[in-house]
Amino acid sequence: MPSTHALTPGRLTRRVLNPFVMWLNRRGLSLHGAHTLAVRGRASGALRHAPVNPLELDGRTYLVAPRGHVQWTHNLRAAGTAELRLGKRVRPFSAVELADREKPRVLRAYARRWSEVGRYFSELGVGRDATLPQWRETAEHFPVFALTFHSPAGGGTGTGARDAAESGDAAGSGERAGGADGQATFDPVRAGGPEPGAGRP
């Protein structure tokens, strides 16, 4: 049975910290590497937003969900495409979810890069010093997506000419990305809410 592991963010993270991180992002400021993920909701098709920490590793960019199978992971899995945003810089991409056997080195690199999210991984007995076999045993609980960008990084508007109004969007109950998961990274940034009946990052 597929993992439904997800850690639900607290009210402070959902209502204050995540919106603050995305507010900074809209002004071109990145807190500890955070970007805003803009992805279509799998039911409504409306844009949903979540703070995430893209990981650069061996020339590739990855999104990791340390809180588990949260809302933005469900939306990205369904949509297959999304955008990373920071100020006026909009980077459309296609996402491919990694198989569990491909995740360990990415998960280990992520845990070492953002040690502040260690408590999310430690829920399942892994952390920055875990071995690759240990990461392999828990890989199913942490979605990882490899990104392929559609155009060179640069200023653009992509799907989000209306980003200023939507980036802090808190609507979209069963499919909302913001406040339900991101990769979110350190507590404010890595928050993301679980799918009803599932769980979150």
Q: DSSP readout, 153-193?
A: SSB--TT-TTHHHHTT----GGG--TTBB----STTTTBBP
| Amino acid occupying residue 194 | P
pLDDT in tens, 61-120: 999 999 999 999 999 999 999 999 999 999 999 999 999 999 999 999 999 999 888 889
Average pLDDT, the chain: 81
- Which among 88, 51, 79 is positioned nearest to 67, based on CA atoms? 51
pLDDT category, 186, cuts 50, 70, 90? very low
Q: Which of 14-18, 24-28, 135-139, 189-193 has the lowest mean pLDDT?
A: 189-193
Phi and psi dihedrals of 55, rounded to 5?
-105, 125
Q: Report the b/e string of 47-70 with b at 16+ CB within 10 A.
A: bbbbbbbbbeeeeebbbbbbbbbb
pLDDT category, 163, cuts 50, 70, 90? very low
Is the distance from CB of 147 to CB of 62 less than 8 angstroms?
A: yes
pLDDT given at position 175: 53
- Domains of the chain: residue spans and CATH: 11-175 (2.30.110.10)
Check pLDDT > 60 for residue 28.
yes
Task: Give 91's strand partners.
Answer: 84
pTM of the complete model: 0.77
